[in-house]
Amino acid sequence: MKKFLLALSVALLTLSCAPAPQDTSVTTFYLIRHAEKDRSEGVGNDPQLTEEGLQRAQRWAEVLGLEPLDAVYSTDYQRTRQTAAPAAETNGLEISLYDPNAFDAQTWIAKHKGQRVLIVGHSNTTPMLVNRLMAEERFTEINDAVNGNLYVVTVMGETVGVELLSIE
């Protein structure tokens, strides 16, 4: 009986000292600014994409289509919806609209745990969302002439990483 209790004590001590299992699910957010918009006079504040912008949107779908997406989000503007459309179509997904000012990073991380998510925004909102996901102020507004930034935010447990790529 003493040997059994000693073995049980050692086993319990070993289990209590063992590290807790790590969360190995990887959540990946791809954040991009809308593609080139029509800057013609008189188009208003909700312009469509130019032909160049439509071609870039298609390239985004190709680049992001290497592995399936689980969700595609866009702000409620023609240029962002048009940028998101090819990637959504490629993956058989509907575009979900979101409000960048109401974006709560922890809620999005929990909601999309283990998924791959595209978020299309604007020159000011895209870096803001990346900063919120990372919980640090690292990125500033995107220069208005730049439409090829791809922010890849990876979340695994408590670890958050980011990579900024440029796709032309």
Backbone angles phi, psi at 31, to 5 degrees: -115, 130
Quick one: DSSP state of residue 101?
G
Q: What is the pLDDT of residue 66?
A: 86
Mark out the alpha helices in 42-99 (DSSP H runs). Answer: 51-64, 78-90
pTM, rounded to two decimals: 0.86
pLDDT tens-digit series, residues 105-135: 999 999 999 999 999 999 999 999 999 999 9
Q: What is the pLDDT of residue 114?
A: 97
- What's residue 22's pLDDT? 57
> Which of 34, 32, 25, 33 lies closest to 111 in space, CA to CA?
25
Q: Is the pLDDT score of 12 beyond 80?
A: no
**Backbone angle region of 98, left / alpha / beta, with phi > 0 → left and psi within -120 to 50 → alpha:** beta
d(CA 65, CA 62): 5
Residue 124: enclosing H or E segment and its boundaries?
none
Tell me what the mean pLDDT of segment 88-113 comes to: 97
Torsion of CA 60, 166, 144, 117, to 10 degrees: 50
pLDDT tier at 96 (50, 70, 90 boundaries)? very high
Angle at 74 between CA 70 and CA 75, to 5 degrees: 155
17 three-class SS: helix
Digit-coded pLDDT (tens) for 18-74: 444 556 799 999 999 999 999 998 888 999 999 999 999 999 999 998 889 999 999
Position 15 scores a pLDDT of: 40
What is the model's pLDDT at position 167? Answer: 85
121 CB contacts (<8 Å, ≥6 apart)?
31, 32, 33, 34, 75, 80, 100, 129
How sure is the predictor about 168, in pLDDT bands with cuts at 50, 70 and 90? confident
Q: Which domains does the chain have, with CATH numbers?
A: 25-166 (3.40.50.1240)
